[in-house]
Amino acid sequence: MKFETNFDKYDLSNVGKMEECYKKVEPLLYNSNILGVIEDLRYYKEKNVRNHTEDDLSSCNDKIFYPQEILDPYLGIKGWYDSKENTFYINSDAIKEPSFSKDYPTPLNFGGVGYTIAYEIVHAFDNKNYKLKLRGDYENKYNVTDWSIKNFQNRSDCFVEKYGMQNESITNKNINGTLTLNENIADNGGLKLAHRAYMKYLKEIGGKDIEVPAYNQYTDEQLFFISAGRKHCTYKSKDKLENQKKTDKHPPGEIRTNMALSYYKPFYDAFKCSYNRKMNLKGKDKCELWKNH
């Protein structure tokens, strides 16, 4: 797998350059209300035809008129895996607060940006990409047996079933376990990978990280899980959640967080969660695809 950065190559976060772009929009005024701004932009756009010979977002007009080309690849997504290129891309948003800071204690960074990186790596081995690799593996260089393929499918089916039983608290409706399968596999596998990386690091430095003032009541391992747990902390309206469950391959944040943590033994051991409670389910209620060896 290749690793690439996608750090704002069009200077979208360069305040000076963006202000220069918008200075060309007349009569856009600082104190205009939002409807006035939209109307001014529409008027300006009608006067200017996009030059399709230019590179995407390289011109001011592209940046102003086509925000949809900005929102996902440069502002909305911290990282993503490209299966065609077998490449993981990470954005500048992933390496700033609250995901990462040079001033953060190490467990918070491992549970933040570390979890993001691990999650994207595991996407190379989710239900969709695992099958793609096998389909092109005519020489069986991966040495995958028929039993392995069947076992993979059975374990994937467990995720479909168990996640499909999860009720989102605001809409009071279950999510689609099939639609969200690949994300659920990546969430669970990524948590294990990031945690194992942090515990390996902790062992290498002698088993004790730097103390965090005001958080002395937590162990280093607990701080890792607290950081991982806040990764999907969001607030969405009921309408947004209704639409998300119908169309989005990502389950709502509360389900992503609680399911991945409650399936992972080191988490409930670290917090001493009582057996057969919400965050420490019975064995028959848990799913595991990639083993934690």
Q: Is the peptide bond before 67 cis (omega within 30 degrees of 0)?
A: no
Give residue 87's identity as a one-letter amino acid code.
Answer: T
* 19 is known as an active-site residue: no
Residues contacting residue 69 through CB under 8 Å, at least 6 positions apart: 56, 57, 62
Residue 102 three-state SS: coil
φ, ψ dihedrals at 80, nearest 5°: -160, 155
Question: Residue 248: in which H helix or E strand, if any?
Answer: none
| DSSP, residue by residue, 53-72 | TSPTT-SHHHHHH-THHHII
Cα distance between residue 186 and residue 189, in whole Å: 5
Question: Of 93, 126, 168, 187, which one is the catalytic site residue?
Answer: 187
* 20 is known as an active-site residue: no
Structure tokens at 155: 């374990």
C-alpha to C-alpha distances, 60 to 19, 76, 177, 210, nearest whole angstrom: 10, 20, 42, 46
Query: Within 13 Å and on the Cβ side, how many CA atoms surround 151?
Result: 9
A 10 A CB-CB count for 83 gives: 13
Question: Of 62, 93, 120, 220, which one is the catalytic site residue?
Answer: 120
Report, as residue numbers or ranges, the catalytic residues: 120, 187
